Copies of this chain bind each other. A is one copy, B any other.
Amino acid sequence: MRFVSDQRLADGVREREFTLGEIPGILWTPASAPTSAPLILLGHPGGLRRMYPRLVARARDCTAQGFAAATLELPGGGDRPASAAAEQARADLRRALAAGEPVTDDIVDRLVLPLVEKAVPEWRAVLDALLALPEIGGPVGYSGGVISIGVRLAVVEPRIVAAVLFAGSFVPRAMFAEARRVTIPLHVLLQWDDEGNDRQMALDLFDAFGSAEKTLHANMCGHTGVPRFEGESANRFFGRHLRTPPSS
C-alpha cells in the first residue's frame, strides 16, 4: 500500500488516498490521531470518484465515533479495467431491464459472482495493509453494498466482526447458502420501494442469515433515499460492536 495524497478536510479529518498495487483506495482517520482505532470498510457499487460525496459523508460518521474508515475501488469500477464477461453481463442486464423482462439467474450470476471472487481477496489484502498501520487496530466492520461482497467477507474474513449490509443489488442464488453460514451481528438496510431491487429476495436473504443478532431496517424513498436517521442507527450498531466496552 502506497499513500499518494494526504490532506485534512475542513473538520480536521485526515484523508489519504492510496494505491494497493494498481487499485486506488481512500483512508480516513479521525482529526485527533487515534492509536489502534477500530476500522470500518466502506462498500459501494464501484466508481470511487462518482461515489465520493456519499463515501466521505459515511466516513465522517465513522471518524466522529473515533473509528477509521477505508474504501477500495472495485474490479471494473472507476478507471479499473472491466472484463469482457462483466461488460457482457452488464449489457444483458440493461437489455433485460429496458425490455421489462425478468433478470435471469444466469445474468445475475455472471454479473455478481466473478465480482465477488475478484473483489474479496482485494479487500482482504487491503485489510492486511491497513491493520499494519499503527493508527489502526481493529476490530473491523464492513458497511454497505455490494451485499454479496459483504456476505462473502462475513463468511471468510474472521477479522470482520459486524456488518451493515445494504440490500440494494441483485443476489446470486448461490449466496443464500453462504448467508446461512454468516454468524456475525448484522444490520441490514432495505429500501422498501427500491424499484431496481427484488424486495422478496432481500427478505429471503435476511431470513437466511445464520446470525443470532440480525436486524432489518426497511424504509421508503427509493434506492438512494436511505433516511439520515438510518445513518445514525448504523453508527450505533457499530458503536455497540466495535467498541470495548460498548457505548450507547
Contact of A207 among B192, B214, B232 (CB under 8 A): B192
**Does A215 make an interface contact (CB < 8 A)?**
yes
The prevalent SS among residues of A at the interface is mixed
- A215 & B219 in contact (Cβ 8 Å cutoff): yes
Which residue, A218, A227, A248, has most C-beta atoms of chain B within 10 A?
A218
In A131-164, the 8 Å CB interface with B consists of none
- Bin chain A's interface residue count: 20 to 34
CA distance A227 to B240 in the complex (A): 13
CA distance A218 to B218 in the complex (A): 9
- A213 & B217 in contact (Cβ 8 Å cutoff): no
- A240 & B229 in contact (Cβ 8 Å cutoff): yes
Contacts of A216 in B (CB 8 A): 192, 216-219
Contacts of A233 in B (CB 8 A): 233
10 closest residue pairs by CB, A with B: A216-B218, A215-B219, A217-B217, A214-B220, A233-B233, A212-B220, A215-B217, A213-B220, A215-B218, A229-B236
